[in-house]
């Protein structure tokens, strides 16, 4: 993994949860940069809807950790304005679904102002979106909307899959002069990994090969990275060698890493939780089809995405609505064996 050697020593690492890694990044940013402020509903004394901001308000004060009224549109608008004045706001939505209420500020203001003013201003804004299914929160609180925002020029959209990347990419996002949208899968908040205690950054435009293989490339993001790695382990028992790429960023997409892998394996499977139609996998599939890597393919490109349905509340139906490990194993096996 890539670490900014100017700031951190990888030897100084401790185990942190995904949520703790985010909190560590926010704490460091607040401590080292007076321009950084946190904004969002219930992020102060309550500690955030998923307890990610914790007790930061007690350490940094209510002028730096700001509880906003229950108006996503209003809060997002204040965050955009604050960024235009030179602050570096980090705005937390309670659920990614609530971003729909703020799309005007995100897509028409934050994304476009630098362009419309000829580069005279920048919008150094970070927005955090707890996303995804698995908590039984039903149709209006369990969506994966990252492809919506990735459609908008001017926004960077990332999906860290590990505590290490959650901290390093958040710190990089706070440094960035442009709006960065971070989708954090709710199921990942309790996952753990080794994380440097100090300051470091992870690039916002690079994917990572999490597992090398020779028979098929699996491109995944967020929670689906972990499911794909488990599936790859099971596929190895069948003699199938799967390469797993952690996309990390969906705007921009690290095209070279994906194409190099497809040229090597000659097969491509895209795994993502968002609804299959017009999702991330469609963009990756088109990207490969429009490149010379298409000539290396020995099988059709396969997309495993979310079902064409609002997210069910029933836990069995909820699991059936998004790709699971068994789905990945079965579909990849059939693809490699020529059964699809």
Q: What is the pLDDT of residue 11?
A: 60
**Any catalytic annotation for residue 151?**
no
The single residue of 20, 41, 92, 141 carrying the catalytic annotation is: 141
Question: Which residue from 292, 212, 204, 217 is spatially nearest to 252, judged by alpha carbons?
Answer: 204
Q: Distance between CA 324 and CA 331 in Å, rounded?
A: 11
Which positions ≥6 away from 109 have C-beta within 8 Å? 77, 80
What per-residue string of b and e applies to 303-312 under the rule 16 or more CB within 10 Å gives b?
A: bbbbeeeebb
Q: What is the pLDDT of residue 3?
A: 36
Q: What is the CA radius of gyration of the chain?
A: 20
Q: What is the pLDDT of residue 323?
A: 97
Cβ-based neighbour number of residue 175 at 10 Å: 16
Are 25 and 17 in contact, with CB atoms under 8 Å apart?
A: no
Q: What is the pLDDT of residue 340?
A: 76
pLDDT tens series, the chain, 340 aa: 333 333 455 568 999 999 999 999 999 999 999 999 999 999 999 999 999 999 999 999 999 999 999 999 999 999 999 999 999 999 999 999 999 999 999 999 999 999 999 999 999 999 999 999 999 999 999 999 999 999 999 999 999 999 999 999 999 999 999 999 999 999 999 999 999 999 999 999 999 999 999 999 999 999 999 999 999 999 999 999 999 999 999 999 999 999 999 999 999 999 999 999 999 999 999 999 999 999 999 999 999 999 999 999 999 999 999 999 999 999 999 999 988 7
Q: Which two tokens stand for residue 259?
A: 């194409």
Q: Which two tokens stand for residue 20?
A: 């703790």
Are 62 and 39 in contact, with CB atoms under 8 Å apart?
A: no
**Any catalytic annotation for residue 141?**
yes
The single residue of 20, 41, 72, 208 carrying the catalytic annotation is: 72
Are 57 and 45 in contact, with CB atoms under 8 Å apart?
A: yes
Cβ-based neighbour number of residue 140 at 10 Å: 12
Q: What is the pLDDT of residue 6?
A: 38
Q: What is the pLDDT of residue 4?
A: 39
* Domains in the chain with CATH codes: 13-196 (3.40.50.970), 208-336 (3.40.50.920)
Question: Which residue from 296, 322, 300, 326 is spatially nearest to 311, judged by alpha carbons?
Answer: 322
């Amino acid at each position: 993994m890539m670490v900014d050697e100017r700031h951190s020593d990888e030897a100084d690492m401790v185990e942190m949860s995904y949520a703790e890694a985010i909190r560590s990044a926010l704490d460091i940013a607040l401590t080292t940069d007076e321009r950084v402020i946190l904004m969002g509903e219930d992020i102060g004394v309550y500690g955030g809807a998923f307890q990610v901001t914790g007790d930061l308000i007690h350490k940094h004060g209510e002028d730096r950790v700001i509880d906003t009224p229950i108006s996503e549109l209003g809060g997002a608008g204040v965050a955009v304005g604050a960024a235009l004045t030179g602050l570096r706001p980090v705005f937390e939505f309670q659920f990614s679904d609530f971003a729909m209420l703020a799309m005007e500020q995100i897509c028409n203001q934050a994304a476009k102002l630098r362009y419309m003013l000829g580069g005279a201003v920048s919008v150094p804004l970070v927005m955090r979106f707890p996303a995804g299914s698995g908590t039984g929160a039903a149709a209006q609180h369990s969506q994966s909307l990252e492809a919506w925002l990735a459609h908008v020029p001017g926004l960077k959209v990332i999906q860290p899959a590990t505590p290490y990347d959650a901290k390093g990419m958040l710190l990089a996002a706070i440094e960035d002069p442009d709006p960065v949208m971070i989708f954090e899968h709710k199921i990942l908040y309790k996952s753990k990994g080794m994380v440097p205690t100090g300051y470091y950054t992870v690039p916002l435009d690079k994917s990572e090969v999490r597992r090398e293989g020779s028979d098929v490339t699996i491109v995944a993001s967020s929670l689906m990275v972990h499911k794909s790695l488990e599936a790859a382990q099971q596929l190895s028992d069948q003699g199938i060698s799967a390469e797993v790429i952690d996309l990390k960023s969906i705007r921009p997409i690290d095209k070279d890493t994906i194409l190099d892998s497809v040229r090597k394996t000659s097969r491509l499977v895209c795994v993502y939780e968002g609804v299959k139609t017009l999702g991330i996998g469609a963009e990756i599939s088109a990207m490969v089809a429009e490149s010379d890597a298409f000539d290396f393919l020995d099988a059709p490109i396969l997309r495993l995405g979310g079902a064409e349905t609002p997210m069910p509340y029933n836990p069995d139906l909820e699991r059936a609505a998004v790709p699971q490990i068994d789905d990945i194993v079965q579909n990849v096996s059939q693809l490699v064996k020529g059964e699809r």
